C-alpha cells in the first residue's frame, strides 16, 4: 500500500492519528450497520418470495377466469361492463425509516365487495364476476407485496453501498493511514537519532580541544 | 389521480380496472417507458407492470429503484408468469449478500 504524500512533521502525524481514529470508528459503525441491514433483509426477502409465489398463483387463477369470460363475451360487451368501475382502490403512503433507509409503507383502503361489480348480470359471463371478486381479494396482498418488494430493493441497494464503504475503509483507508503514520514516525525517529549523534560528536570535539 | 396504476397488455389490465386501479393497455416498449415516467411524475405510488414489459423496460425501471416511491412491481400477465419477478428477487439477494441463498432450499 502506497503511503500518502505528506510532510513528515509532528503536526502531520497528529492529524493523521486523528483521522485514523475516526476511520476506525467509522469502519466499526459501518460494519454494524451492514450486518443489521443484512439481517433485516434476510427476514424480508423470505417473506417476499413466499408472498410473490402465492400472489402469482392466485392472480393466475383470476386471470384465467377473466380470459374465459372474455372468450364467452364479445369484446364490446366486456368493455362496456367494465367501462365505469365503481370501486376505487386508495392507498395511503407514509415513509418509514429502516436504519435510515427511507422505505415506503402502503395502507390500502378498499370498497367492500358488494359494490364492486359495476354491471348488471344479464349480459355478462359468470366467470367475470368471480374473476373480479378474486382479484379484489388479492389486492391487499398485492399491495403488501409491493411494499415488501420495494423495501427489499431499497435495502439491497443500501447494503451494497454500505459494503463498499466498509471495504474501502478496511482495505484502503485504514492501511494507508497506518502505513503513513509508521513512515512519519520512522522519519522523525531517524531525525532524532541524527540529532543526538551530531550533539555527541560536537561535544566530543569540544572536549578534545 | 389514482394511487395505483397497472401497465400491460390489454387483456391483463382490464381486470385491474374493475377494482379501481388505473389501467393502461400498452404493449410497446417505448410507449410503456414514457408512461412510467409520466406516472411517476404525477405521483402514482404503486405501478404494477406485466412481466414481459417489466423485462423490456428495465432501464427506466432501474432509475426508480433507489427511490422510495413509486414502487414498480412486476405481476404475471394473462399468459401466466415467466419467472421474471422471481429472478429479480434473486438478483436482489445476490446484490445484497453476494450469493443466491433462496434457490438452495
Instruction: Name chain B contacts of A153, Cβ cutoff 8 Å.
Output: 65, 92
From the list B18, B75, B89, the residue facing A49 with the nearest CB is B89
Quick one: pLDDT at residue B97? 82
Largest CA distance in chain B: 43
Beta carbons of A66 and B14 less than 8 Å apart: yes
Q: Express each pLDDT in A99-149 by its tens digit.
A: 888 888 888 776 665 666 777 777 777 778 888 888 888 888 888 888 898
Domain boundaries defined on chain A: 10-199
Beta carbons of A87 and B76 less than 8 Å apart: no
CA-wise closest residue to A34 among B86, B55, B97, B82 = B97
Beta carbons of A146 and B66 less than 8 Å apart: no
Quick one: pLDDT at residue B103? 66
Quick one: pLDDT at residue A113? 57
User: Rg of chain A's alpha carbons, rounded to an integer?
Assistant: 34
Which stretches of chain A drop beneath a pLDDT of 50? none
Q: Which fold has domain A10-199?
A: Helix Hairpins (1.10.287)
Q: Is A39 on the interface with B (CB under 8 A)?
A: no
Q: Is A132 on the interface with B (CB under 8 A)?
A: yes
Cell numbers given for A199: 550533539
Interface test with A, best of B7, B10, B16 (most A CBs within 10 A): B16
Q: Is the pLDDT of residue B1 over 70?
A: no
Quick one: pLDDT at residue A115? 63
Interface test with B, best of A40, A78, A84, A89 (most B CBs within 10 A): A89
CA distance A169 to chain B (A): 19
Quick one: pLDDT at residue B18? 76
Q: Is the pLDDT of residue B8 over 60?
A: yes
- Look at the alpha carbons of B34, B37, B39, B44 in this order and tell me if their dihedral is positive or negative: positive
Q: Name the residue with cell 427511490.
A: B67
Q: Is the pLDDT of residue B57 over 90?
A: no
Q: Which of A59-63, A202-206, B25-29, B66-70 has the highest mean pLDDT?
A: A202-206
For A134, B4, B12, B59, the CA distances from A73, given in Å and listed in that order, are: 19, 27, 16, 38
Q: d(Cα A178, Cα A206) in Å, to the nearest integer?
A: 42
All domains in chain B, ordered by first residue: 4-79 (3.40.50.10580)
Beta carbons of B17 and A110 less than 8 Å apart: no
Do residues B93 and A45 make contact, with C-beta atoms less than 8 angstroms apart? yes
Q: CB-side exposure of A64: number of CA atoms within 13 Å?
A: 8
Whole-model pTM?
A: 0.83
Beta carbons of B93 and A156 less than 8 Å apart: yes
Stretch B61-89: mean pLDDT: 82
Do residues B32 and B9 make contact, with C-beta atoms less than 8 angstroms apart? no
User: Rg of chain B's alpha carbons, rounded to an integer?
Assistant: 14
Q: Which of A2-11, A190-199, B73-82, B89-98 has the highest mean pLDDT?
A: A190-199
Count of all residues that appear for chain B in the document: 105
Quick one: pLDDT at residue A172? 93
Q: d(Cα A135, Cα B4) in Å, to the nearest integer?
A: 14
Q: Is A99 on the interface with B (CB under 8 A)?
A: no
Amino acid at each position: 500500500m502506497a503511503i500518502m504524500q505528506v510532510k513528515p512533521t509532528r503536526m502531520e502525524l497528529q492529524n493523521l492519528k486523528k483521522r485514523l481514529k475516526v476511520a476506525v470508528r467509522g469502519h466499526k459503525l459501518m460494519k454494524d450497520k451492514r450486518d443489521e441491514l443484512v439481517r433485516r433483509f434476510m427476514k424480508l426477502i423470505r417473506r417476499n418470495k413466499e408472498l410473490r409465489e402465492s400472489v402469482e398463483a392466485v392472480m393466475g387463477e383470476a386471470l384465467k377466469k377473466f380470459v374465459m369470460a372474455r372468450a364467452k363475451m364479445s369484446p364490446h360487451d366486456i368493455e362496456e361492463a367494465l367501462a365505469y368501475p365503481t370501486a376505487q382502490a386508495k392507498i395511503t403512503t407514509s415513509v418509514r425509516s429502516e436504519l435510515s433507509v427511507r422505505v415506503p409503507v402502503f395502507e390500502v383502503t378498499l370498497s367492500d365487495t358488494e359494490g364492486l361489480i359495476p354491471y348488471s348480470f344479464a349480459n355478462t359471463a359468470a366467470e367475470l364476476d368471480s374473476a373480479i371478486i378474486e382479484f379484489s381479494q388479492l389486492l391487499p396482498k398485492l399491495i403488501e407485496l409491493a411494499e415488501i418488494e420495494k423495501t427489499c430493493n431499497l435495502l439491497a441497494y443500501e447494503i451494497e453501498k454500505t459494503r463498499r464503504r466498509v471495504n474501502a475503509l478496511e482495505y484502503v483507508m485504514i492501511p494507508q493511514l497506518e502505513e503513513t503514520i509508521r513512515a512519519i514516525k520512522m522519519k522523525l525517529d531517524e531525525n532524532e537519532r541524527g540529532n543526538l549523534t551530531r550533539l555527541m560528536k560536537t561535544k566530543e570535539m569540544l572536549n578534545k580541544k | 389521480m389514482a394511487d395505483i396504476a397497472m401497465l400491460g397488455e390489454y387483456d391483463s389490465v382490464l381486470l385491474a380496472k374493475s377494482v379501481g386501479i388505473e389501467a393502461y393497455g400498452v404493449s410497446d416498449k417505448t410507449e410503456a417507458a414514457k408512461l412510467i415516467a409520466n406516472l411517476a411524475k404525477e405521483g402514482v405510488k404503486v405501478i404494477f407492470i406485466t412481466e414481459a414489459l417489466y423485462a423490456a423496460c428495465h432501464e427506466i425501471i432501474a432509475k426508480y429503484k433507489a427511490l422510495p416511491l413509486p414502487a414498480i412491481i412486476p405481476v404475471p400477465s394473462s399468459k401466466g408468469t415467466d419467472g421474471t419477478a422471481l429472478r429479480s428477487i434473486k438478483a436482489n439477494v445476490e446484490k445484497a449478500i453476494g450469493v443466491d441463498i433462496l434457490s438452495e432450499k
